[in-house]
Amino acid sequence: MNLLERKIMERIRTEGPIPFSTFMEMALYEPGLGYYASENVEIGRAGDFYTSQHVHAAFGIMIARQLEEMWEIMGRPSSFSVIEPGAGAGLTCLDILQHLEHRDVFRALTYFIIEANPATKRKQMSILDRYSGIVHWFDSLNALQSCGGCIFSNELLDAFPIHLIGMHEELREVFVDANQADPAIAFREVFNPPSTDALADYLHEFSIDLPKGYRTEINLRIREWLHSVAEILSEGFILTIDYGYPAQEYYDRERNKGTLLCYSRHQAHDNPYINVGKQDITSHVNFSSVKKWGEQFGFSTLGFCQQGAYFVSLGIDQVIRELFKKSPDYLFEVARIKRLLFPGTLGETHKVIVQYKGRGHPRLRGFALKNQAGAL
């Protein structure tokens, strides 16, 4: 049993069984011990999973094109803030700044990275040293002053601690308890009455009727996060990229085991109670909740679609022609970029949603070909 497991076990001995959301919070974010809070966290080819920023620089370039369009829509303000929580290795930030460096928007740009892990922050600072006058770091979103611009995240919401629920004769929640029966397995699940009325309220809010035997997740942290965003962003956009579904598809009768997955050395499995603190734990995003709760805090939804369709609409073909056509590795570059676009890749699994606070209801080029916001 490692130190984090002992710490979780001590909490269980003190408080009794804890909601899975508490277990996941500690497994991922316990200072110095949790997966994202340790000095050993590594994302990318050498780590446990990779994100779009590791596939190709074209990902960051497309985000840069979107940010520039947003700046134009806001009237080319002299100050435009980009805020990126969960920036990972910092590669997307690097690709964005390199692409925009010689464009007008660059003079208005300030880039804020939200990162609480000192080890991860040091790695980001090393990669982004050239832009030290533009990029600034904060431990939390709440540390920022009110500003206008865009809050951008890629695979952030899926790592928020979630509540696990199951429908028995009535709604029950998964709690984590010590496993007294088998000392080789530290933790076991028990089903208890819900820890908060917000879980039943959520099911009612999104018209979810779960049959007996159904098990799934509820992510309440998304609402808290949007509330924090609304406090910081006086005007501008929320650009969110993640994997997930609209509520109706998320809670389809056939998806009766939920979406929770763990990642270790690029292998996926569904057991969060092994490798505690040494593996990622995620669940898909209910994008209907992102839309609805965003509206409650003053954000209108401008568009929602698959990442591939969004990048094609945003002009990735032009980027390929301009930047890589003369490359001796052109076919190799294109093959990598296809992993951001095509069915069966990140282009299909990952969705893009853009929300807006400001005057009017601007149209974004990225949703010209496909906009499925009505499905939310």
Question: 117 CB contacts (<8 Å, ≥6 apart)?
Answer: 36, 37, 38, 41
pLDDT digits (tens, 9 = 90+) for 163-181: 999 999 999 999 999 987 7
17 in a structural domain: no
Mean pLDDT of 313-336: 84
Q: Which residue has the higher pLDDT, 184 or 192?
A: 192
Among 39-43, 251-255, 308-312, the least confident range: 39-43
Mean pLDDT of 3-23: 96
pLDDT at residue 51 in the model: 67
pLDDT at residue 184 in the model: 72
Could you tell me if 311 and 341 are in contact, meaning their C-beta atoms sit under 8 angstroms apart? yes
The yes-or-no verdict on residue 11 having pLDDT over 90 is yes
| Residue 245: Cβ within 10 Å count | 19
180 in a structural domain: no
Percent above pLDDT 90 for the chain: 83
SS3 label, residue 243: strand
Percent above pLDDT 70 for the chain: 96
Average pLDDT of the chain to the nearest whole number: 93
State the Cα–Cα distance between residues 373 and 357, nearest whole angstrom: 16
CATH number at residue 297: 3.40.50.12710
Could you tell me if 85 and 111 are in contact, meaning their C-beta atoms sit under 8 angstroms apart? no
Could you tell me if 200 and 173 are in contact, meaning their C-beta atoms sit under 8 angstroms apart? no
**What are the beta bridge partners of residue 187?**
178
The yes-or-no verdict on residue 137 having pLDDT over 80 is yes
pLDDT at residue 41 in the model: 63
57 in a structural domain: yes
192 in a structural domain: no
Could you tell me if 89 and 125 are in contact, meaning their C-beta atoms sit under 8 angstroms apart? no
pLDDT at residue 52 in the model: 65
pLDDT at residue 43 in the model: 56
Q: What residue numbers bound the domain in which 65 lies?
A: 52-159+219-248+284-375
The yes-or-no verdict on residue 107 having pLDDT over 80 is yes
Mean pLDDT of 101-112: 97
Mean pLDDT of 240-263: 96
Mean pLDDT of 87-104: 95
pLDDT at residue 42 in the model: 63
Domain count, the chain: 1
Q: How many CA atoms within 13 Å lie on the side-chain side of 336?
A: 15
State the Cα–Cα distance between residues 115 and 87, nearest whole angstrom: 7
Could you tell me if 4 and 12 are in contact, meaning their C-beta atoms sit under 8 angstroms apart? no
The secondary structure element, H or E, covering residue 166 is: strand 163-167
Nearest to 190 by CA among 169, 204, 174: 174
The yes-or-no verdict on residue 149 having pLDDT over 80 is yes
239 in a structural domain: yes
State the Cα–Cα distance between residues 270 and 164, nearest whole angstrom: 13
pLDDT digits (tens, 9 = 90+) for 22-61: 999 999 999 999 999 988 766 545 444 456 667 788 999 9
Q: How confident is the model at residue 112 (pLDDT cuts 50, 70, 90)?
A: very high
State the Cα–Cα distance between residues 51 and 340, nearest whole angstrom: 10
The Cα angle at residue 251 between residues 280 and 226, in degrees rounded to 5? 60
